[in-house]
Structure 1
Amino acid sequence: MKLNFLDIPELVAHLAPYLSPADLLSCVQLNSTWNKTFIPVLWRSIDDSAQSWGYILHQITDPRPQPPPPAAISAVTVETTATAPGSSPFRRRSFDTHKSCVRDSDLIKDRDWLFAIFEKYGHHIRELKINHTLVLEAASRKETCTSLHTLVLDLNLNAEGLCLEYLPLPPAPPQRPQLPIVPGLGVMVGTPGLDANSAVIPVAHARGFGIAPAITLAGTGTFGVGPALQAPGPYQEPDVELSKPLFPGHLKLADFKTTTLHGNATPESKRASLEHIWTLTQHTWHLIRVNPGLLRLDTSECLQQGDRISADFVVATLRLLKHLKDLDVNDYMFGRVEFWKLWDALPAEIESLSFKSSISPAVFPLPEPLPVANMSLKVLLAGGVTTVNGLLTLLGIFPNLTQLRVKEVEENPRYTSSPNYTPLPPAPFGGQSLRKLEGIVQDWYTVFRYIPSIVVWEIGNECLREDVALLLKECCLNLETLRTFPPWFIDRSYISGTQGNDPTNQFLITHRHLREFDSIKNFIKVDEMLREPWTCVGLEWLTCRIVGLDRLTPVEEETVARIMALGHSADLSEEETGVVEKFNRCRAQHHGVYDQLASLTRLKHLDLGYENRNPWTFKGEYYLGEDGKYYLEYEPPVFDTLELTLESGLGRLGELRNLELFGFECLNHKIGKTEMDWMAKSWPKLNLMYGLDYERLCSIEHDKKRVALREYFTKLRPDVVHDSLFHDDF
């Protein structure tokens, strides 16, 4: 049994029956000192997603008997008046405690225990992350958690444990009657018993447009749409009488939309569900309002129906948070509030304002007159469409922004008669500190010309084009990160340089400050790569394809093996000479690529491959697998890529001691157990591998060699996770 000073209260409780009064008094004094010293530390940060909290809350919300937790969990769930479940920093460490130290009463926690412990120690909490509605109620109802600095709400509307733990689920909607299908024709549409009014509609149309039963054709004209299909008039959901407010001084019924929920459930179920939402909403906003000292509020993952709360109430609540520095919200709770109305309610010292969705609220159009410039805001992630002029004006309002996200930045209107036209300012109003700009930008040339400080650029679904690379070379030599979104697959036109010149290699030569290049659509031709060394020696992330290597065919490999065998004649035929020259050229190319990569000693992420098999345009042919099943025939791996064997020079990458991810999906590699042994030993920090994950395309036969290599490497390095950059499971 391992013990430490955190177990003092439990030890005293077990030893007390055997102590003399004097010794017992000393223990009580020790416990008092222990409480005064460590209680504030243990309760400073609470996260109810911790393992101990999960077990406790499960027992409270589910009265059915549960098996006792394992010893490691039992030690954490033994909570006396001196400990906080899931608290940090001490409770993040796992330690073993014998089950005999766990009292039976500690295995059963009820609702009253949870409320009492928050009432007693809630004033010590400074950082609170809530995932369970029951914890939200405990923190809100007693009004003791009033000294929070950070509040993170990650609530789900359907979670159990608030006032309606056993909320009955609404009954399933009645099933629509199945339409009879006429073989070879389609769906029989018509009123039962009225054959004259029936018709046959093709299955494709019926499935595509959801044709309902009982559609008659009598007097309906060409398309067979009669009066029975006329849309009913607008229906207004009635208001529901809800319970009185739990906290009359805060959220009132007048600030809450009381119309019933949509759906096919019974009125009783709808009212119960709305009452649940009403109660949950009250506790959420009450906990926010009783903590005016909040520095950070994060509701970005809180799934609540914020459209039921009046915008005036939200604004009034934000005005109470006079010390707020960081606000991270979503459309569920703040969707009805206009951006600039919300901005007026925030303190002038706000540093970060983030909206999870880029759809709303929108920063643009800008209000008139323009707001006073704010020097504190550093991060603004919002929505809205504007022009380059509007972007520069926004940067004038927030001149110290380091990160900005908008939905789209359009080109300036070309004609002065346009209502959106304003001439470009002679100098940028702001943006001198802007390092990252997210959004669809149509005129990057003007943006980079006015905001040369950008060092993080996300292109989106595009790849790095030659004209863009020239622009970056001219305006943004200090660029540190270039990132694109991975496509569904790499089209054949992107393979082996058939698309034309790719600027990636020249980009890596000219941008010495580059830290991350993440664009699997782009490729590097090996001949260009070997002409000039890269200057980005501090590169930490490289996601790109290297193509154009000379690779031997199986016949050529047999020829080389025969030539290199002892006793072979020195006289070679012209064909054999060509094969040997190709072999030497292939080895020289591999060594050059490995040496270039090995010079990037800070590299943590190296991904050289991606799914090249188009999941939609496969050959359409099936073949019979060894297991007797039929599988689709896809394109083979990219031929002219790295071999990745020790024989080809893979050992030169032993300098990459910081490597954490290695990817080789769909490469024409020959990795075997020898290479697996080498990777396991040479890359001690490796924790993620792309290339041995199970196939993700539809109807594709698993590669036995890949499966065997994964099983083998898992035994060598069970800590390494196997995944894929290709996430679409077809």
Structure 2
Amino acid sequence: MSTSTSTSPSCPSGPRANQVLLIVELLERIGFHLNPPDLLSCVQVSRHWSSVLMPHLWHTIDDRLYSWACILKVYISDTAPRLLRIVKDEQDTNSSIESFSDIEEAKVLKQIALEMWLRRRAETTHWLYRIFQKHGRHVRILRVSWPIIIRVAGMAGHCKQLRVLTVHPVLMRIGPARNKDEDVMRRQQQREDIAWTENYTGAKADWQGFWRTIDDEDEEARLQSSNPSQLSDGDPIWLNWGLTRRFWILVLRNPTIEHLLLGRGLKTLVPFVTPVFVCYALATLPRLKTLSNRFMELDFQTVLEHTSAIPSGGNRNMFYHMDNGCGSNLQLDKNFPHLTTLAIKRSLESSHVLMFLKRLVNLDQLFLGQISWSDRGQPPFADIDDNYEERSHSFTLTGLHLAQSGGLLAEYKPVQAAMAIHLIPRLPFLTELTTEVLIPEVAKALASHCKQLRIFRQGGDDECIGKDYQVKSDVNVVGVLLESCPNLTIIDTIQHRIDATYLAEHPWVCEATLETFRCQIVGLERMTSEDYQVMSILSEQDSTQLLSRDVAEEKYKRSKEQHCRVYERLSRLAHLQTLDIGGDVKGVGFHMFGECGDEPIKDVNGRIHLLDSYPIMDCLDLSLDSGLDQLASLVNLKVFGFEGLDHRIETAELEWFATHWPRLAIMRGLHIDDSETLNKMDTKTTRQRQEMQALRPLVRHESATPTNVLETLLHLEL
């Protein structure tokens, strides 16, 4: 136990078992795995635990989580109803207000509510200021959506080691002006904000004088904030500095920032800051790796010029995301090697795509809304700077992700066909492709020119496989990749379909590498309950009935053989971890607006379905009788999905899953549905979910999760 005494010199003497809990390295390791509520409990155990775990407790501040919303609700602008309820609650408790007429009582209550609101705002402001003064040096990740947090963090000078600064893409919550004088003060402050950003840009800006001024203001704020008399006056005067200034001071004070997300909430600050100033501020962040601009127009080339160099003179790798509402100028006239990932959530001309590939010479991942081609007088994917020799030059891009391709609409098919001819052949290192649909020409181009392709994902927001909602795509087109790309590891395309006969007859070259297979398998011949009844006819029956039995038996043999061939193909995927052959059959509108409560329903083999969300019938019959036991070789399977299918799974199959797939962690098909009607009436699914939970309690039951790479990345909270 010598380690504990060397690392914790203040440890009290005691049993060795207790001294273990005082080892600094051990406490720090534990602290990484605790959430803030648990950390708060830990720091209250002892001074030693507090000194070790306090940096972990304040490492991350996200004002949307835990108790922050309750603490900051006094800053919500719609004060009257909420505060009147507070006053009435206190009135009922204390009975300290005399009886008035209705009008007079309303006036008194409103005045009391306003005074209470101002007092609580002031108390909360002082509490926040003390928090950031005391613990700001520990904060590394700051995610905000309330202006008061920005103001206080910007003026408490200890918050200087941020790595992540995120302004959530929600409306910034700004309280109302209390009177005309305050409104005039705000407008004056806004004019000062504009002048401030204009005065401190460019090489001639007096930044040393700027920081002296800020230090003086901060010192005055510290003195004023210690005056208790300020508590009764609402927001103290030292708080009423420009929000724009406070935000950018926070940025400038933290050259350690690696990830900066300027969310839509900052749009309220757009009139008070110039693009030139923003670019200057970005140039002060030598460690910047991720920049997400969702709040104002910035010239793309200017941003790259200000973020390209680091003090050592070298380059850095950076990810830049530009919102589709910013309307920025995207033209580039020189090369920028430091940008490795670019995301622009809007439609771009094919010529711009080629320009990015040429000018961003180390571009590795490109995320776009979609590619368009409006100038039919110019060839697609053409650049006016191209000479004959450059037109065959290949690019190093490894990931191309398109959120939408427009399905197979006539106006988009020429763009997709042009990709197959003019773009895909120039991407020999492509390993990931995301598109809403895959046309045969693109699939064949990938097979011919992208030998390292490992991942093909389906773009778009809606994964519904219902016939009235799904993207119209060519059947079997995904099979081209399975047959031709030997390094394929992920096929994530639940709206795409492969015919069972085609699947069985065309060998896959990626059997040794495939880990995820999400695709519908359709076109299977299925036995009905009537077919099984006919097969049970005894030989003593008349010739007509016997003929029907022979027909049913032949159908059974064909179905069994077809199923076995499909199972045999799937059983070869020794490394498969996700097998998902189904998806939601209800459109996105159902999940957005809910059900009316009177949807017509239908029983399908003992399960209840909404009539407008009929299951896929020509899918695999996932019963042991159909040959399911051939999949016992998939010992690495973690995710199994059959949502939206007429799957025929019964208790025997659930017991088989529990026994033969030891690593199974997620099932999609027996989950609690969004539809209250289905949850109430589909008792068979409910019973089977309970049976599976009894067999394998740790297996989660859920619906298919979105797989749109672009949307997932762009909404990722860093």
Q: TM-score range by the shorter chain?
A: 0.5 to 0.7
1:599 corresponds in structure 2 to: 572
- Distance in 1, matches of 2:236 and 2:609, equals 48
TM-score (norm 1): 0.64
Q: Distance in 2 between matches of 1:273 and 1:421?
A: 58
Cα distance per residue 1:192-232 (max 9 Å; x no partner): xxxxxxxxxxxxxxxxxxxxxxxxxxxxxxxxxxxxxxxxx
Deviation track 1:681-721 (CA, whole Å, cap 9, x = no partner) reads 43333333221123445865631101111222233334333
Partner of 1:502: 476
| Partner residue of 1:434 out of 375, 397, 401 | 397
Match of 2:293 in 1: 330
1:546 paired with 2:518, answer no
5+ residue gaps, structure 2, are: 60-122, 201-233, 310-314, 406-414, 707-718
The yes-or-no answer on 1:557 pairing with 2:532 is yes
**Counterparts of residues 81-96 of structure 1 (less than 5 Å):** 81-84=51-54, 86=56
Q: Is the 8 A contact 2:475 2:498 kept in 1?
A: no
Specify whether residues 576 and 359 from structure 1 end up closer, same or farther in structure 2 by C-alpha distance, changes over 3 A only: same
> Which residue of the other structure, out of 658, 683, 689, is the alignment partner of 2:667?
689
User: Do 2:503 and 2:566's aligned partners in 1 also have CA atoms closer than 8 Å?
Assistant: yes
Pair 1:486–1:604, CA change in 2 (3 A): farther
TM-score, structure 2 as length reference:
0.65
Bigger mean CA offset, 347-356 vs 641-650: 347-356
- Pick one of 430, 440, 448 that aligns with 1:466: 440
Query: Matched residues in 2 for 1:118 and 1:34: separation?
Result: 28
Q: Does 1:151 align with 2:164?
A: yes
Look up the match of 1:714.
Answer: 693
Partners in 2 of 1:252 and 1:243 — Cα distance? 14
Amino acid at match of 1:511: C
* Counterpart Cα distance in 2 of 1:361 and 1:499: 32
2:429 to 445, 449, 453: 453
Give the secondary structure class of the aligned counterpart of 1:305.
Answer: helix
| Matched ranges for 1:283-362 at <5 A | 283-299=246-262, 305-308=268-271, 309-321=273-285, 323-332=286-295, 335-348=296-309, 349-355=315-321, 357-362=323-328
Which whole-Å CA distance do the structure 1 matches of 2:30 and 2:153 have between them? 13
Partner residue, 1:213: none
User: CA contact under 8 A between 1:413 and 1:421: conserved in structure 2?
Assistant: no
Q: 1:703 aligns with which of 662, 666, 682?
A: 682
Q: How many angstroms apart in 2 are the aligned matches of 1:274 and 1:467?
A: 67
Amino acid at match of 1:343: L
Q: Does residue 80 of structure 1 match 2:50?
A: yes
Structure 1 CA distance, aligned partners of 2:688 and 2:195? Answer: 60
Amino acid at match of 1:50: P
1:101-120 equivalences under 5 Å are none
CA distance in 2: counterparts of 1:520 and 1:451, whole angstroms = 26
Structure number having the greater helix percentage: 2
Counterpart contact for 1:255–1:313, Cα < 8 Å: no
The answer to whether the 8 Å contact 2:527/2:556 transfers is yes
Give the deviation of 1:45 after TM superposition. 8.3
Is the 1:359–1:407 contact (alpha carbons within 8 Å) kept by the matching residues of 2?
A: no
Asked if the contact 2:456/2:490 (under 8 Å) is kept, the reply is yes
Which stretch of the first structure deviates more once superposed, 275-284 or 651-660? 275-284
- Following the alignment from structure 2 to structure 1, what is the Cα–Cα distance between the partners of residues 38 and 343? 35
**Displacement, 1:514?**
1.6
- The answer to whether structure 1 residue 242 and structure 2 residue 186 are counterparts is yes
SS in 1 for 2:435: strand
| AA in 1 matched with 2:294 | D
Cα distance, 1:438 vs structure 2:
2.9
Residue type of the alignment partner of 2:656:
W
Given that 1:379 and 1:403 are in contact with CA atoms closer than 8 Å, whether structure 2 keeps it comes out as: yes
Q: What is the CA distance between 1:312 and its match in structure 2?
A: 2.6
Equivalent residue in structure 2 for 1:404, among 366, 375, 379: 366
Native 8 Å contact 2:171 2:264 kept in 1: no
**SS of structure 2 residue aligned to 1:342:** helix
Alignment-derived partner of residue 677 in structure 1: 655
Picking from 381, 390, 401, the partner of 2:352 is: 390
CA distance in 2, matches of 1:75, 1:655: 51
Deviations 1:375-416 (A, max 9, x none): 232111235655444322322211111111344433484547
Q: Report if the CA contact (8 A) 2:43-2:53 is conserved.
A: no
SS in 2 for 1:509: helix
What is the distance in 2 between the residues matched to 1:77 and 1:709?
52
Confirm or deny: 8 A CA contact 2:320 2:342 kept in the other structure.
yes
Q: Does residue 51 of the first structure (1) align with residue 24 of the second (2)?
A: no
For 2:361, give the aligned amino acid: P
1:444 is displaced (CA, Å) by 0.9
Partner of 2:636: 658
How far has the Cα of 1:520 moved from its partner?
A: 2.0
Comparing 665-674 and 286-295, the one that deviates more: 286-295
Distance 1:276 1:254, change over 3 A: farther
Q: Which residue in 2 is equivalent to 1:645?
A: 623
C-alpha displacement of 1:326: 0.7
- CA–CA distance in structure 1, aligned partners of residues 472 and 128 of structure 2: 65
Q: Which runs of 5+ in 1 are unaligned?
A: 20-26, 57-70, 90-108, 172-237, 257-270
Q: 1:421 to 1:643 in 2, by over 3 A?
A: closer
Against the structure 1 CA distance between its residues 281 and 615, is the aligned structure 2 distance closer, same or farther, given a 3 Å change threshold? closer
C-alpha contact 1:550 1:586 (8 A) present in aligned 2 = yes
Contact 1:361 1:382 (C-alpha < 8 Å) held by counterparts: no
Amino acid at match of 1:398: L
- Listed one character per residue, the Cα deviations across residues 220-245 of structure 1 (whole Å, up to 9, x for unaligned) are xxxxxxxxxxxxxxxxxx97423998
Q: Is the 8 A contact 1:612 1:666 kept in 2?
A: yes
Aligned residue number for residue 483 of structure 1: 457
Q: Residue deviations 1:613-670, cap 9 Å, x none?
A: 679999x984799xxxx99633642222112122322222232233222111121212
SS in 2 for 1:457: strand
Deviation at 1:129, TM superposition (A): 3.9
In structure 1, distance between residues paired with 2:500 and 2:419:
30
Say which of 500, 513, 520 aligns to 1:526: 500
Alignment CA distance shift 1:249-1:77 (3 Å)? farther
Letter in 1 for 2:646: N
Distance 1:528 1:705 in 2: 33
Deviations 1:513-570 (A, max 9, x none): 2222122222111111111321112112211111122211112213445679xx999x
Specify which structure has the bigger relative contact order, considering alpha-carbon pairs within 8 angstroms and separated by 6 or more residues: 2
Deviations 1:440-472 (A, max 9, x none): 555312111223332222212xx3233332333
SS of the residue 2:626 aligns to: coil
Are the structure 2 counterparts of residues 277 and 10 from structure 1 closer, same or farther at C-alpha, using a change threshold of 3 Å?
farther
2:557 alignment partner in structure 1: 584
Q: How far apart, CA to CA, are the structure 2 residues paired with 1:609 and 1:273?
A: 59
SS of residue matched to 1:549: coil
- Contact 2:167/2:263 (CA < 8 Å) preserved in 1? yes
- Is 1:478–1:511's contact at 8 Å kept on the other side of the alignment? yes
**Preserved contact between residue 242 and residue 275 of structure 1 (Cα < 8 Å):** no
Partner of 1:725: 704
Deviations 1:19-63 (A, max 9, x none): 9xxxxxxx9xx99x978x899x6899899x73347xx6xxxxxxx
The 1:563–1:468 alpha-carbon spacing in structure 2 relative to 1, beyond 3 Å, is farther
Residue 313 to residue 518, structure 1, CA distance change in 2 (3 Å) = same
Find the aligned partners of 2:246 and 2:698 in 1 and give their Cα distance. 42
Aligned amino acid, residue 337 of structure 1: L
How many pairs are equivalent? 566
